[in-house]
Amino acid sequence: MSVSSKVVLVTGGARRIGARIVSRFHGAGYRVVIHCNASMDEARELEYRLNQVRGESAVVISQDLADPEQLSKIVEYAISTFGRLDCLVNNASIFYPTSLSDLDARLINQFMDINLKAPLLLSREAAEAMNKGAIINIVDIYGENPLAGYLLYSVSKAALQMLTRGLALELAPDIRVNGVSPGAILWPEDTAEMSEQEKEELLGDLPMGRLGEPDDIAKAAFFLAEDAGFVTGQVLSVDGGQSVA
């Protein structure tokens, strides 16, 4: 099937890595559904830019992924707008430190709802709506080896990794499910912001000695969706060697 008629839905697609994934799929001919939560202005700007390139090729839907009751609206919107769905990229996530002494049921639920439950329920909705297609989960190398001080984040990404493998079995043969595990790509913002010293230390530990680019993740996601027809249940680390160091 020609890429030009295909549709991708990217969660958290308004900015940073998600926006790059949206742009790469769009650049290859996909029509794109940009999901966002708070970043409506950035999402609308991206939608406008992409529609200037190709008319009626990009739309935005805003939805808080913490509310599982509302998740079906996202896939429904993709189908009602473009009439089909070929690829779901579960990119949205929360990332901030959680010390063992401070965590409570509310925090645990928040991480699990956004980083695990939403990808699971969206994948189920998307799979029902697709004939054939691909699901890509954006995991993290810290889902393999935990990041100190980020227990809930690490646990949620480990579970997302298992979800990727388990869903691949559940949804074969028509839907392939794979993951991309980024290493250090963009410095975190807000509550997870790092000091200059922490950044220097981290860079010193990276075999390739530098951060990756958002497009490294976008290219890997696109490869798994389009060019890896016999690959399912795999998680590809894109980390400049960090996970083997």
Ligand X SMILES: NC(=O)c1ccc[n+]([C@@H]2O[C@H](COP(=O)([O-])OP(=O)(O)OC[C@H]3O[C@@H](n4cnc5c(N)ncnc54)[C@H](OP(=O)(O)O)[C@@H]3O)[C@@H](O)[C@H]2O)c1
Give catalytic residues, as residue numbers.
Answer: 153
Report the C-alpha gap between 195 and 200 in whole angstroms. Answer: 9
CB closer to ligand X, 17 vs 155: 17
Question: Nearest approach, Cβ of 123 to ligand X (angstroms)?
Answer: 14
CB closer to ligand X, 174 vs 205: 205
Angle between helix 40-53 and 16-27 (nearest 10): 20
Q: Of 195, 192, 165, 193, which Cα lies nearest the Cα of 178?
A: 165
Report the C-alpha gap between 222 and 220 in whole angstroms. Answer: 5
Question: Nearest approach, Cβ of 103 to ligand X (angstroms)?
Answer: 18
Cα 207–chain centre separation: 24
Question: Nearest approach, Cβ of 179 to ligand X (angstroms)?
Answer: 10
Question: Nearest approach, Cβ of 205 to ligand X (angstroms)?
Answer: 14
CB closer to ligand X, 154 vs 232: 154
Report the C-alpha gap between 12 and 34 in whole angstroms. Answer: 7
CB closer to ligand X, 84 vs 144: 144
CB closer to ligand X, 79 vs 114: 114
Interacting residues of 178 by C-beta distance below 8 A, sequence separation 6+: 134, 135, 136, 137, 164, 168, 224, 228, 231, 232, 233, 234, 235, 236
Compute CA distances 183 → 115, 195, 213, 233, whole Å: 17, 18, 10, 19
Question: Nearest approach, Cβ of 96 to ligand X (angstroms)?
Answer: 9
Q: What is the secondary structure of 86-115 as a DSSP string?
A: -EEEE-------B-TTT--HHHHHHHHIII
Which residues sit at the interface with ligand X, rule CB under 6 A? 12, 14-18, 36-39, 64-66, 91-95, 114, 138, 140, 182, 184-186
